[in-house]
Every structure is written in C-alpha cells, then in structure tokens.
Amino acid sequence: MNSSRYNVITIDGPSASGKSSVSRELAHKLGWKWVSTGAFYRGLAYVAMKEGLTPSDVEDLVVMTRSPIWQVRMDDDQTRVIYREKDITAQILAEENAQRASQVSQIPEVRAALLENQRDCAQGVPGLVAEGRDCGTVVFPAAILKIYLTASQEERAARRAREQGLNLEMTQDQQKQRDHQDSSRAAAPLAIPLHARVVDSGGMDLHQVVEQIHSWAVKALS
C-alpha cells in the first residue's frame, strides 16, 4: 500500500444527508479529488437495466462491473457516469434509478466486484474524499478521518424534494424504504464506522459542516 492510500477521508451516511455537497467542497478546500461511490451502484443499475439484466442475473452483473461499455469519472463538480460514450449522470441520479441501485447493492458478489474499482479512485491523486454507505467500514478502513453525516428524516426528505422538484410525501416514503434497505442488508450495511465522528447537519449550513470537517482534516493530516 503506498502512502497516498492513506490520504483518504470517508463520509458515510443515509440518503440526502448532504454527503456529495460536503465532499465536493471539502475536496476543493484540500485540493483533493472526491468520489460518490453511489455512482458505481447507480451506474451499474442503470446500465444493467439498459442491457436487459435483472437483479437476479448475478453472474452477468458481476461481469458488467468490469465491462468497458461504462465508466465512472471523478470530475470536480460531480461523479459522472459514461455509458456507450454518453454522459448519463442525470439519468443515474433520478429517484427511480436510486431504488434500482439500492437493489443491486444488496448483492454481495456485486459489492465485492465494485470494491477494487472504488479503491482505485485513491490511486494517483493527492488525496480523496470518498462518500457512500460503507466507505469507512469496508472500502477505506484505513482512512485518516471518518465522518458519519446525518440529519433527521424530515430534513433529508425536504432537501431531496426541494433539489429535485419532487412531491414531499412521496420522497419521504421512498427515502424510508431505501434507508431501511441500505441499513438492514446483510452485506456491508450502512453503519457508523468505528472511530467515526458523527455530524448531524440539522440546523447547520453547508459552509459550517465543511469548516468543521476541514478543521478535523487539517489536524489528522498534521
């Protein structure tokens, strides 16, 4: 393992807790890259659907994780997914695809197959902020700083509905279902990593959350 492997900060938490916005800003402040590991699950779920696979086609899904027909790209503004040379980032972010992603993420073989792709994101970069559900527990257990970012169910649903112009009640129902699926699955469920700092972003704005985590990052790096 080379030393850059340790220049990793993980941010885990439930859906719509603000992980992507915080990761983007934090990486910008540190001069690092950031990755939404959810993009791997969202990308695979979307591509699988387009290629006619279902969640029960486990072997084909595993093969698909290594297929050159799609790639995850760490841009500064967003983690993008390219499929057959087209940018499908907007499509993978749609709520219906989030449900598909949560489904394929239940499959242990799929999780194992995507692990190396996610770990590769830390190679050849000055540092990496990795966000998701199991970044601190499974993907980067040796991260220098682990954050568990959360907020109340109501605040998270309101944020998602506002951002995506969705009905609040429906968003809340879908979110509850996805939170339950992501936390109760057998393989790498959403959990607070050991030694993680828990940040409840309720009542805090983005700037305050980033400043708080940045100050811990500076300490951890010194």
Residues lying near ligand DC in the complex (CB under 6 A) are found at 15, 36-38, 41-42, 98, 101-102, 105, 132-135, 178, 182
Give the DSSP H or E segment for 59. helix 58-65
As beta bridge partners, residue 71 has 82
Nearer to ligand DC, 42 or 146 (CB): 42
Query: What is the bridge-based pairing of β-strands 145-150 and 70-74?
Result: unpaired
Q: Minimum Å distance from CB 222 to ligand DC?
A: 28
Nearer to ligand DC, 65 or 105 (CB): 105
Nearer to ligand DC, 7 or 106 (CB): 106
Q: Minimum Å distance from CB 141 to ligand DC?
A: 13
Q: Minimum Å distance from CB 182 to ligand DC?
A: 5
Distance CA 134, CA 206 (A): 22
Q: How far apart are the first and last CA of the chain?
A: 20
As beta bridge partners, residue 10 has 130, 146
Q: Minimum Å distance from CB 111 to ligand DC?
A: 7
> What are 86's two structure tokens?
């087209």
Angle between helices 38-50 and 95-104 in degrees, nearest 10? 100
Check if the beta carbon of residue 197 is closer than 8 Å to that of residue 56: no
Nearer to ligand DC, 130 or 217 (CB): 130
- To 5 degrees, how large is the angle CA 211–CA 213–CA 214? 60
Nearer to ligand DC, 53 or 101 (CB): 101
Q: Minimum Å distance from CB 218 to ligand DC?
A: 25
